[in-house]
Amino acid sequence: MTTSLVTGASSGIGTVYARRLAARGHDLVLVARATDRLNTLADELRAAYGVAVEVITADLVDPAQREPVLARLRSTPAIDLLVNNAGAGLMGGFVEAEAEAMQTLLTLNVVVPTLLASAVIGGMVERGTGSIVNIASVLALLPEYSPGIYAATKSYLLTLSQSLAAEVSPHGVYVQAVLPAATRTEIYERAGGTIDAVPNVMEVDDLVDAALVGFDRKEMVTIPPVPEAAAWDAFEEARFALAKGFSNSEPAARYRP
């Protein structure tokens, strides 16, 4: 049996991942702050699919509450799939943002998925199998569209996924970055905004189902709303074409005085 740990499992993307993975026969470890929601979901999944479901209530920003999750990622039965979904947004721009709020966002969106991946990756490499799914955002590629630091945190998560994939894929470990666009979840309301003014919102079930198609295809980056895979391929080709100039030992002629 495969055992999957899903963070932010009490609502939105995390809840749908839990349901879809349970339907595939995965045992689950569900992590979030909302104990009642987690227990309700766990009961639903046990009854519907006969899978084993563990519940860990934790505010992952708090190091003391995070520790049991890290311990579970290192323990047995081994975690075969980590879904790094827990995250948050922050309304407004950088200039007016409070330092404490930015610190919290950086911890949840950057530090937490890094530490969770670190806790599980050694065992996966040793076993020669395992998967990590990092839920990033299309704003990782369009920071100009998002004031403040949210896009930067998701850019980090995309870059971490790409770097980690290059390191561990030769050892049988698969890493996927999922880049949703606007998706109907609670993140907008929790950040103090509303999704009502956002155009072209994807339903969360559609988002996760598409992400799992990309997972089954072993895509390194999955962007569910983008119609043509060739668009991403062209983006990657342009990136590597740019990289050809990085090894020059002298400044390009256009920068010489």
| Cβ(17)–Cβ(30) below 8 Å | no
DSSP state of 79: P
Give the residue among 241, 226, 209 at the shortest CA–CA distance from 141.
226
**Cα(18)–Cα(40) distance, integer angstroms:** 12
| C-alpha gyration radius of the chain | 19
- 3-class secondary-structure state, position 177: strand
Nearest Cα neighbor of 175 from 184, 162, 191, 187 is 162
Q: Which two tokens stand for residue 235?
A: 């983006």
In one-letter notation, the amino acid at residue 195 is I
Give me the long-range contacts of 62-67 (CB less than 8 A, separation at least 24). 66/112, 66/115
Out of 17, 145, 150, 188, which one is annotated catalytic?
Answer: 150
Q: Provide the 8-state DSSP code for 218.
A: T
Show the tokens assigned to 44. Answer: 């639903």
Number of Cβ within a 10 Å radius of residue 165: 18
> Three-state SS for 75?
coil
Is 150 an active-site residue? yes
Contact 73/120 with Cβ under 8 angstroms?
yes
> In 3D, which of 103, 105, 86 has the Cα closest to residue 186?
86
User: Catalytic residues, which ones?
Assistant: 150
